[in-house]
Structure 1
């Protein structure tokens, strides 16, 4: 259009060309007449020649100035006219949300007319493609190539814009029509014209209408009350399964074909449906048998006798308040009325049920806004998950990567499998509870339950997925706690059984020895052996007594019955004595070393229980060391008393090291050291004093115990280094 306008204006300029030619001929004729009047001998001298040249130069300048002004004013007029027409075209296209562009087949360039129609902007194909979705742009190029190859003369297609990062409305949708604007001299397409219309809002309205109809049919068909719809002419056009059940209708289509009007219902005969401006409530008593006698359409209804019925009528109008139809929500109250309940109770129940129906309808909308349940959509073609706060508002739109980042790593595999199935448009429902990275107000991990179902298009293919996202945190954490408590109970039962089994064995061993040696006194024996029998009985009795004392003490520890009395104690004064008491039965081949760096260390500790810890560790090191060295040392550092007991005895391997503090556990293939309760008692005592104990050991090289007990230092005096 723009090129045609410019060409027409330049054609009008050619009208002035003959007039300039006539002027030049008149000037040349005048010069010729003058030459005839003069002497022919002097006409070609130097003076005349210079005069001719000057005249010719002036004529040339005059003609050039004339054409310059002529072209200038005409070009100005043409430019103004072109700008005016382009501006009008821009306004028209902008009002219709349209854009126009051309494609030069030879130069492979796109030219886009600006919004105001003032100029054209050239784009290379790669720059032009940035405005559109990649796949859709490829379809557009394919159409252009089909037009170029003569396969088609024009075409129309829907194209999405490129994803907009900072645009709240997301991608735009355009309807683009491509046709031939000009041909070359061989009749092949030279320039293509593309008109682009933004139909995003129309598409959204269509989608919203479809969703609204889906919700309407879902509520209509799944309602617990009778739902009946009459059109603007009062003709029955739809009823749900519950209404068919109430009135005994076996064929929906058969009753609809009867064209039953709302005024055919006795209780609705006086209603002016065009005057309904608020919900109307009706209660009626209808004798179906009598009505059948006067209306031949009633045989479609199999219900007999009287029916007590109540209903709410509401008018359905468009935004211009034009009546679209009337919807009734009702129910049969025949069984209620015919029951033997008191009339007042029946009326109260009726009011309660009616209110429940109204509350039910209100709660559906309210729950979608404030509850922990959210609707969700997943679109396989966009790979996006939309979370909706209500059916018409998208609260969050998440890409797959963003959605996966919100899932705890342990559940990402489950989430990925679910997304992969939806991307493949799996025809089936999904239900999965996923562990997220979010925390609730109590600091607990949030678990979300997803229940998803596919929505099919008219071809029976999956269009998208609709589902609900529910906060399942409370239920999941209850299940987790139940599993943990069950595991603890099973573990406690196992520990109890093992403890009783080991304790039975440990008690029987010395007890059997006592009984055995005692029975020897009643048999034939040498009197010289009696001291040996008595000594064995005494030794095993002491072992049994120590074992029972340890069991009782450990039971008191488990029951938290041990009292801890923290007193100001000179630990430096008592440490060596406690160590030597533990080493009282040490082998003569073992050297003892005690490192006491303080003359005085006054700390606030429980001396009785801490002494038991040190003595039992020294006893254990003495039992495992037959030669070499046992060493004890301590140090006070930053509010903690750090005690080390080490030996160069047998040591233990890695497997036995893990079970060192277990009860009644002995190293396999080795003679038992003590009762098997010394180290468990030490560990429990240290932990109840808020301390820690660690054991390092290596087979054949010895063991080292590290005990750390928190305490308050009152005073100290360190020894001087020699």
Structure 2
């Protein structure tokens, strides 16, 4: 075998694998490197470099010195670092293989080195070391007590919280005790531990019973512990150690009770104020929401949030679109706030109102996090109140306008009969002609009646507004009352119009307020006479077992569809130029409402109108 040839072959093979070898002399504090490594570092043919010079080439690593120089006794046989070479910065993994003593008694260490083409393996190695340190740090500072025993029950390690819970000054005072000798640890748990069975249990730890088991500074008192025991295994599933985790139940219980108390209080506030809260991650679909939050958007409590966000099955289509658009913008990072009033469809088919506020609390899509915080509250009552206020405002504004018009009309309506009365009274005193006197007396009487009716309407309106409208029902013959009104208006009927009646064959007595019935009927007749120029006006009534219907129909000009409801409002008239203040029908409706009845109207433009009052009452056939 040619050793030189073999050496050359293996050196070339390692170089092709981007590897090399090194030899460290601890006496001379120097490395001798293979040709591949020497060429990479720019060394001469000897391939020798001192520890000090080599350390200067290290740019980044877990150790700031080389493995050999730093560790000396070779406690860690492998290290990774970033090395400055002729090719630039290169990740290097160096591994110690063995050591020997030469003829002069010097310690020689041999190793191999791998040149990484990318930092992946080095990064993984560093991540592993970082994880180990992190795990050790967590173990040390975890807010629960941790004990680690070997398979024979000997305590090998414990964390700071355990020392604090059991009042031990330092770890060295307690290491080496055997858990199976613990006088407080339950025997049942010791048995399960020997059988390598995992267990969770609660027990009271009494410090007065510790005795000489371990030195501690607390000789009396108790703590309630929640303990978890588990067995740790090696790769071949052989038990190698026991892990105990202890938590002070008192602290946990107090904290839990406080959380429960706060949650209950928050739920109570949410229920009372109809306010809900949600916390949701758009990307993971995970989150939490209060019961009141579900209720405010029409969803069942406990419905997965991923089945609500982006779907909103109970939202009005327009509102659903705006919510979905916000979520899409939030995913892109183009929107962070949403503040809208949403209509929610309920089971009865009606919509309620919910005010929705959403805020993007954390935007980190690279970590699979787009975190939303949302608060909603039911504003249905507020909306209804707002709507009522708007209607009240509009009504007040309309009433103010109508009252202004009413005052203007009143001045005109009062002045017109007064002028006629004063004027014709003056003419009456100066004329000697009998026919003229009769005409003037008739005109004065007519205008007196108009003025009196106007004043009565104003007085009735005042009583209605103040709530003093009173009814005085009594028995009377309905046909006689209607005939009386017809007779009073017969002289006012123009030529070409027929005033007629249509009654049942038998007369009836009814128990109603006679004066109020006549007032309503006179108003209907007066309106028909004002609006009818041809055809007829008919007064009629009908009676059944529980109610009476009294009406007036005409062949007048009729009423437009959009005016049929308005004419019953105060100060409203179909024709603003027609005589009257626009109070009659409004007063009639108030009287009928007081009698628990209703007014019906049927009218067509150019054909005529029919007004009917329907009143509950007792009746007797005469």
TM-score (norm 1): 0.43
Q: Relative to total residues, which structure has the larger helix share, 1 or 2?
A: 1
Q: Which has the bigger relative contact order, CA under 8 A and spacing at least 6? A: 2
